[in-house]
């Protein structure tokens, strides 16, 4: 069953999704999260994915998946305002060409957005740069600097500053380590100790 192999990150996201909501998953991969949400939250909605092989997998799962490049097509070309209760984007904010504009679009077509990304400000990254003098390369950032999809890495603080600037309200935030476990210490120094953050945001009313 999908639920048994569901990644911890997806489990955390699923906790935020209420039943029968409409969901758009940007960069939905093979559709695992949507599949889980359909089965356990009775949601409806769509996934968007650029990778052909992942598209095929998603179709096999019975997911409604639109093959689209998030960098060349606006989500607003496809969907009207407030079409979704949730627009989810997991581990993809840092790979798009303009995360700030995408965030605007996500919050245009959806009432709330759920975004997850690796924290560039984690102490290990800082240490690699500070002491080693190298761009960080580790479990959550496995690629070398010259060949990485992660072109817009940021820290939790950076992201929160962007939200502030854009008048975006952070409804909830969960900070976890690479095994997706929250630790006690992270509550006091999330930008140092958190490896991955899950944000739930909405437009300020």
Partner 1 sequence: MTDEIGIVTPQKLHVSTPLEMVSGSTLPQYDLAYETYGSLNTDKSNAILICHALSGNHHVAGQYEGESTKGWWDGYIGPGKPIDTNQFFVVCSNNLGGCHGSTGPASINPLTGKVYGPDFPIVTCKDWVHSQNTLRQHLGIDAWAAVIGGSMGGMQVLQWAIDYPDQIRHAIVIAAAPKLSAQNIAFNEVARRAIMTDPEFHEGRFIEAGTTPKRGLALARMLGHLTYLSDDMMGSKFGRELREGKLNYNFDVEFQVESYLRYQGEKFATKQNFDANTYLLMTKALDYFDPAADFDDDLSKALSKATAKFLIISFTTDWRFSPDRSHEIVKALLDNDADISYAEVNSQHGHDAFLLPNDHYEGVFRAYIDRIHAESNQQTKTKSGGA
Per CB under 8 A, residues contacting partner 1 are 44, 46, 52-53, 55-60, 62-68, 77-80
Instruction: Write out the two tokens for 23.
Output: 């969901």
Beta strands in 28-133 (DSSP E): 44-49, 65-67, 84-90, 110-118
Shortest distance in whole angstroms from residue 57 CB to partner 1: 8
Closer residue to partner 1, CB minimum distance, 2 or 12 = 2
CA nearest to 128, candidates 140, 117, 116 = 140
In the bound state with partner 1, the residue whose beta carbon lies nearer, of 20 and 157, is 20
Q: Measured from the CB of residue 91, what is the shortest distance to partner 1 in angstroms?
A: 23
Output the smallest distance, CB 143 to partner 1, in A.
Answer: 24
Task: Pick the closer one to partner 1 by CB: 38 or 186.
Answer: 38
Is residue 28 classed exposed, middle or buried when 0-12, 13-18 and 19+ CB atoms within 10 A define those classes? buried
What CA–CA distances, in Å, run from 144 to 136, 141, 188?
8, 8, 30
| Closest distance of CB 58 from partner 1, Å | 8
What values do phi and psi take at 103, rounded to 5? -60, -40
Q: Helix or strand or coil: residue 10?
A: helix
Q: What is the largest CA-CA distance in the chain?
A: 50
We find the least distance from the C-beta atom of residue 63 to partner 1, in angstroms, to be 8
Q: How many CB atoms lie within 10 A of CB 1?
A: 7
Q: Judged by CB, which is closer to partner 1: 80, or 167?
A: 80
Task: Name the residue nearer to partner 1 (CB basis): 64 or 178.
Answer: 64
């Amino acid at each position: 069953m999908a639920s048994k192999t569901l990644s911890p990150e997806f489990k955390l996201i699923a906790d935020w999704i209420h039943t029968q909501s409409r969901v758009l998953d940007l960069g939905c991969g093979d559709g695992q999260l949507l599949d889980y949400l359909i089965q356990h939250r009775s949601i409806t909605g769509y996934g968007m994915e650029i990778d052909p092989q992942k598209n095929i997998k998603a179709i096999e799962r019975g997911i409604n998946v639109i093959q689209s490049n998030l960098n060349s097509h606006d989500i607003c070309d496809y969907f009207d305002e407030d079409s979704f209760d949730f627009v989810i984007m997991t581990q993809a904010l840092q790979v798009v060409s303009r995360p700030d504009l995408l965030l605007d679009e996500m919050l245009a077509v959806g009432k709330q957005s759920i975004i997850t990304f690796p924290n560039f400000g984690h102490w290990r990254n800082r240490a690699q740069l500070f002491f080693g003098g190298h761009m960080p390369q580790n479990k959550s950032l496995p690629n070398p600097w010259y060949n990485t999809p992660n072109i817009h890495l940021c820290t939790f603080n950076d992201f929160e500053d962007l939200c502030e600037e854009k008048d975006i309200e952070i409804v909830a935030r969960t900070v976890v380590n690479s095994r997706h476990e929250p630790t006690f210490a992270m509550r006091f120094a999330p930008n140092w100790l958190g490896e991955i953050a899950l944000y739930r945001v909405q437009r300020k009313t």
